[in-house]
Amino acid sequence: MTIEEPEGAAISVPSIKAPKTREGIESLIRKLVKEYHSPLLLILKSVLNKQFYSFKKKLPYIEPFYAIKSNPHPAILKHFVSLGCAFDVASAKEIEWVLKAGARPKNIIFANTIKSETDLQYAFDHRVNLMTFDNELELYKIAKHCPKAKVVLRLKVANIGSVVQLSLKFGADPEQATYLLKKARSLGLQPEGVSFHVGSQCTNINNYIQALETSAKIFAEAESVGIALRLLDIGGGFPIKYFDSEDGTVFEKMAVMLRKEIRRLFKAYDKLRIVAEPGRFLCGPAGILITQVVGKAFRDNKYYYYINDGVYQDFSGIIFDHCKYEFKSLKRGPKLLCTIAGPTCDSLDIISLTEELPELDINNVIYVKNIGAYSCASSVPAFNGFAPAKVLVI
Ligand SMILES: *Cc1c(COP(=O)(O)O)cnc(C)c1O
C-alpha cells in the first residue's frame, strides 16, 4: 500500500457481504480478478466487525485499542473509528493517521516505550497524553515534552511459545517498577498503570497469567508507597487461526481464563480501567490475498510457480512475522509437490518451498486467507518495480 497517499490506495466498492463457504469466496475472487486484476488484498469489513464484537463480547470490561502497526490502511482505521474502537500507535506518523481517520486524542495510547523527542512533542501538540515507558531516561523526555502526561509502565514479561517475541528489547524489570513509578510522580507525570505484551500470536495462556500476577504485585507495591494505579493494559498477542484445520476456539478459551484471573488477582477490577492492544486479532482474519501465477518451471523434481506477490510485498509477514499461511488455488485436481516464489530477482523471495497444489498454469489464481495483519503493513513500495497488492476494502 502507498502509505503517503493512503486515500488513493483503496478502491472503494459498495459493501459486499462476506461469503462464508469456499464456493462463495472463490466466486467472489473470480469476479474481482476479472474486474481489478491481481495482486489484490481484499479486506472484509464484515470480518472486522466480527472480530471487534467477539473481542468485546468475550472480554466485556476490556477496552480494545487497535494496534495499527498490524494494518494501518486508512479504510480500516476509519472503520474502527466508526465502531468506537480506540487505537495503539507507535509514532507521530501513526498518530497523524488515526487522527486523520477521525479518532479522538483521548482514544489513543502512544505505546512505543522509546519515543523520539519530536514525536513526543507531536503527541503533546495533538493532545495525546496517555503513553507507555520502560526506563528512567524516557521519563525525563516525556516530562520535558509532554508535561503532566499519564504514563503506563511497560513490564518485561515471559513470551514463551509466542510466534513473535516482544520482550527482547522492551519492558522494565518488575523489581524496578516502584522506583520508576515514584520517579514519574516526582517529575510531575501521572503514574497511571502497568502494561505488558506477551508476544504476538501467543497461544500460551500462562504468559498472560504470569504477567497478570506480576502486575497485581506492582499495583499493591505502588499502593503501599501512595501511588494509586488505575489502568491495567494487557497488551496484544491474541492469536488467530491460519489454517482451516486449526482449532478456532483458542481465543475464546483464553478469554475465559483471562477474565477469571483478572477477577482473582484484582479484587477491585470493576473500578479499574482495563485496556488491551489487539492488532492481529482484529484485522488478520479480514484479509484475503489474491495472486496469480506469472511463470512456471520444473526444478528439483517439482513445479516452481512464480506469482505476482512476494516476501517484499504482501508476504512480508513470512520474513518479519514468522508467519505460515495456507495456500489455495481455484483450480481443482490431484495435488503435486510445488514451490511458490515471489516475482523479484532475489532468491530470498521464496514464499514456500513445499506446498501441495493441483498443477497450475499461467494466470491461475493462488489465494491466502487470514492475511490481513502484518502483510501490506510491512511491505516495501516497489522493490524491483513490483508494487504490493491493491487494497480492496469491502
Ligand atoms: C505489536 C504490538 C501490539 C499488537 O500485537 P498483536 O500481537 O498484533 O496483537 C500491541 N502492543 C504493542 C506495544 C505492540 O508492539
* Whether residues 260 and 298 fall in one domain: no
Of 252, 283, 314, the residue that ends a domain is 283
Domain that holds residue 146: 45-283
- Using an 8 Å Cβ cutoff, are 273 and 232 in contact? yes
More confident: 323 or 268: 323
| Res 147: pLDDT | 98
The closest-lying atom of ligand 1 relative to the alpha carbon of residue 69 is 1
Evaluate: CB of 64 within 6 angstroms of ligand 1. Answer: no
Of 283, 304, 327, the residue that ends a domain is 283
User: What is the helix (H) or strand (E) element at residue 77, kind and residue range?
Assistant: helix 74-82
The closest-lying atom of ligand 1 relative to the alpha carbon of residue 278 is 9
198 CA distance to ligand 1 middle (Å): 9
pLDDT tier at 14, thresholds 50, 70, 90 = low
User: What is the helix (H) or strand (E) element at residue 319, kind and residue range?
Assistant: helix 316-320
Evaluate: CB of 282 within 6 angstroms of ligand 1. Answer: no
Average pLDDT over residues 55-72: 97
Q: Which of 159-168, 176-185, 235-244, 252-261 has the lowest mean pLDDT?
A: 159-168
Average pLDDT over residues 328-332: 98
The pLDDT tens digits of the residues spanning 352-366 come to 999 999 999 999 999
pLDDT tier at 115, thresholds 50, 70, 90 = very high
333 CA distance to ligand 1 middle (Å): 40
Percent of the chain with pLDDT over 70: 96
Evaluate: CB of 237 within 6 angstroms of ligand 1. Answer: yes
The closest-lying atom of ligand 1 relative to the alpha carbon of residue 164 is 7
Minimal CA–CA distance to 236: which of 142, 317, 174, 154?
Answer: 154
- Using an 8 Å Cβ cutoff, are 318 and 311 in contact? yes
Domain of 363, CATH number, reads 2.40.37.10
Evaluate: CB of 283 within 6 angstroms of ligand 1. Answer: no
- Using an 8 Å Cβ cutoff, are 342 and 312 in contact? yes
* Whether residues 263 and 179 fall in one domain: yes
**Does residue 3 fall inside a structural domain?**
no
Tally of domains in the chain: 2
Evaluate: CB of 251 within 6 angstroms of ligand 1. Answer: no
259 CA distance to ligand 1 middle (Å): 20
- Using an 8 Å Cβ cutoff, are 229 and 191 in contact? yes
Specify the 3-state DSSP secondary structure of 315: coil
- pTM over 0.85, yes/no: yes
* Whether residues 177 and 264 fall in one domain: yes
- Residue 188, judged by CB atoms within 10 A of its CB (0-12, 13-18, 19+), counts as exposed
90 CA distance to ligand 1 middle (Å): 10
**Does residue 1 fall inside a structural domain?**
no
Residue of 155, 238, 277 to test ligand 1 pocket, by largest number of atoms within 8 Å of CB: 277
Of 85, 202, 338, 345, catalytic: 345
Average pLDDT over residues 15-40: 92
Average pLDDT over residues 97-101: 98
Average pLDDT of the residues of the chain: 94
Would the pLDDT of 9 be above 80? no
Evaluate: CB of 200 within 6 angstroms of ligand 1. Answer: yes
Centre a 10 Å sphere on the Cβ of residue 12 and count the other Cβ atoms it contains.
10
pLDDT tier at 6, thresholds 50, 70, 90 = very low
276 CA distance to ligand 1 middle (Å): 9
- CA angle 139–142–146, rounded 5-degree value: 150
Would the pLDDT of 98 be above 80? yes
Would the pLDDT of 12 be above 60? no
Would the pLDDT of 182 be above 80? yes
Compute φ and ψ for 220, nearest 5 degrees. Answer: -70, -45
Average pLDDT over residues 312-341: 97
| Res 15: pLDDT | 62
Please confirm, yes or no, whether 85 is among the known catalytic residues. Answer: no
Evaluate: CB of 199 within 6 angstroms of ligand 1. Answer: no
Specify the 3-state DSSP secondary structure of 10: strand
Average pLDDT over residues 372-379: 98
Average pLDDT over residues 326-337: 98
* Whether residues 311 and 332 fall in one domain: yes
The pLDDT tens digits of the residues spanning 130-170 come to 999 999 999 999 999 999 999 999 999 988 888 888 778 89
348-353 contact pairs (CB < 8 A, 24+)? 348/311, 348/319, 349/310, 349/311, 349/312, 350/311, 351/307, 351/310, 351/311, 351/315, 351/318, 352/325, 352/327
Evaluate: CB of 197 within 6 angstroms of ligand 1. Answer: yes
Would the pLDDT of 5 be above 60? no
- Using an 8 Å Cβ cutoff, are 229 and 194 in contact? yes
Domain of 166, CATH number, reads 3.20.20.10
The closest-lying atom of ligand 1 relative to the alpha carbon of residue 284 is 8
* Position 88, amino acid: D
